[in-house]
Amino acid sequence: MSREDLIAEAKKLRKGIRKHRDSTGHELCWHHPALWGLLPEQQDPLPTVPEWPEFLRGCIRYRQSLDIQLPNAARSHEEFHKS
């Protein structure tokens, strides 16, 4: 890759990482194929999806970890609405 190509690639990757980093609220729970699409490998691996009880327990543990890691983060009562 040329210097210019490398710079463009770095900017593209940084933009994708920032978009994922800056996701908030219900966006945190979603599959992010656009982020994986920034990789040079042209594949779209399908995730293994846990059954509902295991999935919900994982969501609860993830949310509990946010209470521990970010105890002063803003809280929201906003419901999820698919756009």
Mean pLDDT, the chain, rounded, equals 90
pLDDT tens sequence across 11-42 = 999 999 999 888 888 887 778 888 888 988 87
Asked if residue 70 has pLDDT above 90, the reply is yes
Residue 32 near residue 20 (C-beta atoms within 8 A): yes
Residue 35 near residue 20 (C-beta atoms within 8 A): yes
Residue with tokens 């970010």: 70
pLDDT recorded at residue 83? 66
pLDDT band, very low/low/confident/very high, at 77 (cuts 50, 70, 90): very high
Residue 29 near residue 50 (C-beta atoms within 8 A): no
Residue 26 near residue 80 (C-beta atoms within 8 A): yes
Q: pTM to 2 decimals?
A: 0.67
Where in the chain are the domains? Answer: 3-69
Cα–Cα distances in angstroms (integers) from residue 33 to residues 16, 21, 30, in the given order? 11, 14, 9
